A and B are shown apart, each in its own frame.
Chain A
Amino acid sequence: MGRAMLEVRDVTKRFGAVEAVTGISFSVFEGEIVGFLGPNGAGKTTTMRMLAGIFPPTTGTVRIAGHDPRRDPLACRRAVGYFPENAPYYPELTVTEYLGFVARLKRIPRTERNAAVGSVLADCGLEHMAHRRVGTLSKGYRQRVGLAQALCGDPPILILDEPTIGLDPQQVVDIRERVRGLRGRRTVLFSSHILTEVEALCERVVVIAGGRLAGEGTPAQLGLQLGRRQRVVLRTDGPEADVVTALASIPGVMIVDHGSGAFVLEASVDVDLGTMVGTRVARGGWIVRELRIETLDLEDIFLRLVRREPTA
């Protein structure tokens, strides 16, 4: 692991009486693409805004590429390209005008400005839209413009807040590919609510819920951290009450759900759950209509984390 490009230490942010983020800590290291997961209102956007330099934390510290935003806000902002939620834009400016404006604000020298704008236009596949007004572009292209603005000036760190929200599947794939293309060259913090894309893109995931850190690590680490669980779905014709009694007697098993002949059970991976369930059903003389064994994936872990269910 390289050096920490984004560091969040015991950060709390209050808006008046409302505490949006409570005591979270995590880091993002150089060259990583980190997924930032959490339901709406979990404090994702608030955290990202603090990292982007929009406002400081109420307590705790944030470090951007080693700089302290309180001491050296401009150095921090220079290091970060930020893609805000919903990719705000000036509808009346053309793509080139807008990116030229961003390039000026990011203090790219006049001689390099055209080249810089040209290169982000190419990176984001916007060359043939360069003279269109942003307001007339489709949502997918507008997201690309948002990405281009973040990429402009080659910042080492990218903070992307829900870059794929509200796009059709083709556009989602497009943006995802463009982010994937940054792997290794940039440090990326990428927030999303689509688990598959985080799993596909990110080496590491940070999960927050209710303003608190709920989990951190690679998808595999997260699974371990939570205790890898397996799940069995059983459909049988036995009387519901009897079946529940029989299954509940298996050590370490939890009946997650049951009704109209179907049962969902969970246990940790070191139990041979399938065999044990099969045995109990056979012992009762009931017929097995279906017996399916599943391993929990990130989505399930995420859901459990954010619902704060008891684990293990």
Chain B
Amino acid sequence: MLGGRATRSWSQLILQVVLLLVVLGMLQVLADRTSRRWDLTPTRALTLSPVTQKVLAEVDGPLHVTVFFRRGTREQYAALLDRMRAETPHLTYDLLDLDRYPERGRSVGVGKHGMAAIDYQGRHTVAPATAEEQLAGGILNVVRGRQRTVRFTTGHGERQPGGDPRSVGRLVTALAAENYRSEALSLIDGAVPKETDLVVVAGPARDFLPPELMALANYLKAGGGLVLLLDPVSVPNLSGMLSSMGIRLGDDIVVDPEKRVLGTDGMAAIVEHFRAGNPISEPEGIAIDSGVVLPSARTVDVMGAAVPGITAESVARTGETSWAVIDLDRARRGEPPSEASKDVRGPLSLIVVAEVGDSGPDGRRGRLVVIGDSDFTTDAYLDMLGNRDVIMNAVAWVAHEDALVGERPKETAEVQRPLSPLVLTDAQAHAILIGVVVVQPALVLLLGMVLVGLRRRRG
């Protein structure tokens, strides 16, 4: 009897709380149903890339993805898969902690964290899911059901697929994620094999022999794709072939002493200008938001007179502060470039794209990308700034993976974009450090001590 009212009040309170939670829960369910999302980033980072969107657009049956994550990273995969599911209704997914369900991982061929098992119309593949493009590549794999073949030439001291930071092992992995199988190619044996989607020449240390170049040229004219990554090494035969196509390979090295990006030796060339709408930096109008660093580059430019049957254009240039040094030894000794030594002041062209020959039997023109550097594709530099995007876009373009057909307007003006990396001198960095860690907090504390002290003194 005594506690009667109190008990009633406790039950009343519980009822109030439950009622409140139910109402708020329903409001949240309503909010979930009618959700809207605004992406305020300039790069639409919260939106799926057009490549992924295109891949997902090809899905027209049930697609199931099972990601095996490492504890603590679940949210990252859930966010990505949610975005993908918003794009295609066919996608269903499971997120499993690999350490908790290792046998389920093994049963679908996953033994590593961050890998996804993908099933689509009876086809099954395993792909990394940490990055959007990797997962999209895995999906592309099961959707297309056919791998593309990229062949790396050998026999001229080209960069090897793995082993040390100077190799291109990570590039090969990245290509695999986008459904490319990498193979070695020896041109001594003659023509480029038929099932070749593109050929990559990754930094030869020695020149090619004329028959080898012949094979490459024929492959290109038949609608093939070729990516030439050419360091400042004397390669007269290759140079000759290119000039026959209206492309000039400079015998020089590009330096930019005033723009020194961390992790380079001051001889790196930084691409600051891209020709708008080119397939390398802006596939489908989506720009690479970061610059590109070519650690030791030579100039590659188009020649004044166009060669019939070939459309070539320069798509990337350095800034005003760069120089092309003719004498490689002088550049390596660190001597300042000058006009007196016949060095050429920037902007300098570094990347040329070209379409070659008439439309082949399958209606395609051969595509060629020449970049005056190969270091940027190596493991040491691949993830610096926008390097990975440039090489991947180049591969996609020459392999005709893009949907863009027809000529691009030639007269597009070059646009300056804020593409230079953030560079701070030591003094500036120290000023920022002192300012935000010492000065600002000290001012707040001082203000407080003065205000509180004055008040205390008054009584």
Contacts and interface: CB of A to CB of B under 8 A. Distances in A.
Please determine if A and B sit in direct contact within the complex, based on CB atoms under 8 angstroms apart. yes
B5 A14 contact: yes
A133 B5 CA distance: 43
B459 A131 contact: yes
Interface of B: 2-3, 5-6, 455, 458-459
Contacts of B458: 94, 131-132
Contacts of B2: 14, 17, 19
A19 B6 CA distance: 12
B311 to A, nearest CB: 79
B170 to A, nearest CB: 61
Interface of A: 14, 16-17, 19, 58, 94, 131-133, 136
B334 to A, nearest CB: 65
A58 B5 contact: yes
B116 to A, nearest CB: 58
B6 A16 contact: yes
Contact of B459 (A16, A58, A133): A133
Closest 10 CB pairs of A and B: A132-B459, A17-B2, A16-B6, A17-B3, A131-B458, A136-B459, A58-B5, A131-B459, A133-B459, A16-B3
B222 to A, nearest CB: 86
Given A14-B2, A132-B459, 14 more contacts: A14-B6, A16-B3, A16-B6, A17-B2, A17-B6, A19-B2, A58-B5, A94-B458, A94-B459, A131-B458, A131-B459, A132-B458, A133-B455, A136-B459
Nearest to B5: A58
A131 B459 CA distance: 7
Contacts of A19: 2
Contacts of B6: 14, 16-17
B454 to A, nearest CB: 12
A60 B2 CA distance: 16
Contacts of A132: 458-459
A58 B3 CA distance: 11
Contacts of B455: 133
A180 to B, nearest CB: 30
B195 to A, nearest CB: 82
A20 to B, nearest CB: 12
A63 to B, nearest CB: 22
For A16, A19, A133, A136, which residue has the most chain B Cβ atoms within 10 angstroms?
A16
Contacts of B459: 94, 131-133, 136
18 contacts: A14-B2, A14-B5, A14-B6, A16-B3, A16-B6, A17-B2, A17-B3, A17-B6, A19-B2, A58-B5, A94-B458, A94-B459, A131-B459, A132-B458, A132-B459, A133-B455, A133-B459, A136-B459
Contacts of A133: 455, 459
Contacts of A94: 458-459
A136 B6 CA distance: 41
Contacts of A14: 2, 5-6
B137 to A, nearest CB: 63
B273 to A, nearest CB: 62
A169 B170 CA distance: 89
A293 B238 CA distance: 136
A17 B3 CA distance: 5
B239 to A, nearest CB: 82
A136 B5 CA distance: 44
Nearest to B6: A16
A133 B3 CA distance: 44
A94 B457 CA distance: 12
Nearest to A133: B459
Contacts of A16: 3, 6
Contacts of A131: 458-459
A141 to B, nearest CB: 12
Nearest to A136: B459
Nearest to B459: A132
B457 to A, nearest CB: 11
A2 to B, nearest CB: 35
A55 to B, nearest CB: 12
